[in-house]
Structure 1
Amino acid sequence: MSTSKDMENPDTRFSALLGSAARLPGVRIDRASYLRRALARHCSEAEVRRAIELSPAAAGIPLAVLDRVADESITYETAKASALSAAAGMPGVLALPATVPADLAQYTGHVLRIAQKLAYLYSWPDLFAEDADLDDATRSVLTLFVGVMFGTQSANAAVGKVATMMSREVARKLPQRALTQGVVYPVVKKVAGYLGVEMTKQTFAKSVSKAIPVVGAVVSGGLTLATFRPMAKRLKRHLSGLDLAKPAPGVVIGEVVAVHDSPVTRRGRGL
């Protein structure tokens, strides 16, 4: 009985959706493979290698280049999500019980895909441990990323706070305590509750859009196109504006000049 009541809570509903989407095939992005593939046409091999080993910021890759690559990834994920949403709208009203939950899950999956890609471009660490379940810290930071995509100001502030913690400590992993029981966690719960309500509204909107075969496909695909791109652009703008994304001072590919003798530059010597 308590489990049923828990699932009625918006934050629990969103957390369950996030977990289900994260388990879908192809949702988890391999950081090293993605950075190599995405940066190869824009950067030297030395820059790509340092971006993978440290971060794009530590590799000194200009924000203009990262923004261009981010736009390419947003275009790709938007097209893919819209096409799949349109395909799910083809069967019509008789298939609604099956197509709407599946469409919502795949939509959330693409939201998580672009969130990971943008995070890795703007120097966030690996979000998923290999072959591991979604841990609490990753669940929290992904919740905040989605919150930013939905325009939640509290999520913007929390993501900035987490990024500052990581930048200050030159961290190569998420701050577990802050995201699971510290100062950021109450914001995560609040954002998850808001997203649970918003996702319920989206489910209803998609149900209406899919009621008529063929027409439903066009409307559903168009609805995804109209919402996905602006959301991804919103996250891109926020992540690119954080100190974590800014190129490290004094970086020269092949060596490191410690202009400010920062922890990042000290660690980079000899690489």
Structure 2
Amino acid sequence: MATSKVIEDPESRFSAVLVGAAKLPGVRINREAYLRKALARYCSEDDIRRAIEETPAAAGIPLEVLDKAAGDSINYEATKASALSAAAGIPGLLFIPTTVPADVAQYFGHMLRIAQKLAYLYSWPDLFEDGDDLDDATKGVLTLFVGVMFGTQSANAAVGKVAAMMSKQVAKKLPQKALTQGVVYPMVKKVAGYLGVQMTKQTFAKTVSKAIPVVGAVVSGGLTLATYLPMAKRLKKHLSGLELTKPTPRVVEGEVVEVGEPVAEVVD
């Protein structure tokens, strides 16, 4: 009875897929290694070091630079997700019961990969800093990120609330209470339920696309590319517009001759 209820509950269905996808090899992004690689083409070593130790915003990295790095990551992940989806489409109708769950899991795995990359570029904290377990706060914020990718307004609003809390408190960790029992938690549950319904529809679409070998591979890969790219760009647009990502001017002690008093001098 309990198992049946979990299967029928869209919220629980999505949460199970999210947790499963987060456990797949290669899904979790090392924040330090990623930022170092993503910013290497655009930033000095000092800026990269500060971006890692604090945030890209605290390092004063311009938004246009972050947008370029984000675009590079989106194109890389979209190409990779499409190729793997096409490969999963080759076996055809006979192997649908095994390939479809695997394809859905890897698809969501790639969504989590790009969500982490965009979050780190746009000054969110390390989502897996405390170890291998997917804690409730991290699960909540990842649910919201995926919700933004699916175009849900409630997810947009919730992500904005979380970002505002972190920006106001200059926090280096997710607001645990807000995401697990506070003002944002009901929105997380609502978004998870919506995504569970959408996931079922997506699974059906992928099943149909895999019914014919080879042709199924082309359709499946194309379907992934056609959906993944705009979804990743939607999250990029939303995160880049938040207060959290705005560059923070660096302040050092200086002296203004006309006044004769030490003042704060802004360094570009």
Superposition TM-score, scaled by structure 2 size: 0.93
Give the RMSD, CA atoms, in angstroms. 1.1
After TM superposition, give the deviation of residue 53 of structure 1 in Å: 0.2
Q: Distance in 2 between matches of 1:129 and 1:68?
A: 26
Match of 1:247 in 2: 247
The reply to whether residue 115 of structure 1 matches residue 110 of structure 2 is: no
After TM superposition, give the deviation of residue 133 of structure 1 in Å: 1.0
Q: SS of 2:171's equivalent?
A: coil
Q: Distance in 2 between matches of 1:257 and 1:206?
A: 56
Q: Percent identity among equivalent residues?
A: 76
Where structure 1 has 5 or more consecutive residues not aligned to the other structure, the ranges are 260-271
Q: SS of 1:134's equivalent?
A: coil
After TM superposition, give the deviation of residue 8 of structure 1 in Å: 1.4
After TM superposition, give the deviation of residue 170 of structure 1 in Å: 0.2
Q: Distance in 2 between matches of 1:175 and 1:68?
A: 28
Of stretches 2-11 and 116-125 in structure 1, the one that deviates more from structure 2 is: 2-11
Match of 2:235 in 1: 235
Summarize the Cα distance change of 1:258–1:202 in structure 2 as closer, same or farther, 3 Å threshold.
farther
Q: Distance in 2 between matches of 1:23 and 1:232?
A: 21
Instruction: Output aligned runs, 1:90-169, within 5 Å.
Output: 90-129=90-129, 131-169=131-169
Match of 1:267 in 2: none
Q: Distance in 1 between matches of 2:64 and 2:231?
A: 20
Match of 2:207 in 1: 207
- Deviations 1:30-58, CA, capped at 9 Å, x for gaps: 00000001001110000000000000000
Q: Distance in 1 between matches of 2:152 and 2:34?
A: 28
After TM superposition, give the deviation of residue 130 of structure 1 in Å: 5.1
Summarize the Cα distance change of 1:47–1:211 in structure 2 as closer, same or farther, 3 Å threshold.
same
After TM superposition, give the deviation of residue 131 of structure 1 in Å: 3.8
Q: SS of 1:171's equivalent?
A: coil
After TM superposition, give the deviation of residue 171 of structure 1 in Å: 0.1
The reply to whether residue 15 of structure 1 matches residue 10 of structure 2 is: no
- Deviations 1:158-189, CA, capped at 9 Å, x for gaps: 00000000000000000000000000000000
Q: SS of 1:24's equivalent?
A: coil
Where structure 2 has 5 or more consecutive residues not aligned to the other structure, the ranges are 255-268
The reply to whether residue 257 of structure 1 matches residue 252 of structure 2 is: yes
Q: SS of 1:212's equivalent?
A: coil
Match of 1:28 in 2: 28
After TM superposition, give the deviation of residue 157 of structure 1 in Å: 0.4
The reply to whether residue 3 of structure 1 matches residue 3 of structure 2 is: yes
Q: SS of 1:257's equivalent?
A: strand
Q: Distance in 2 between matches of 1:222 and 1:34?
A: 27
- Deviations 1:77-109, CA, capped at 9 Å, x for gaps: 000000000000001000100100000000000
Match of 1:219 in 2: 219
Amino acid at match of 1:55: T
Superposition TM-score, scaled by structure 1 size: 0.92
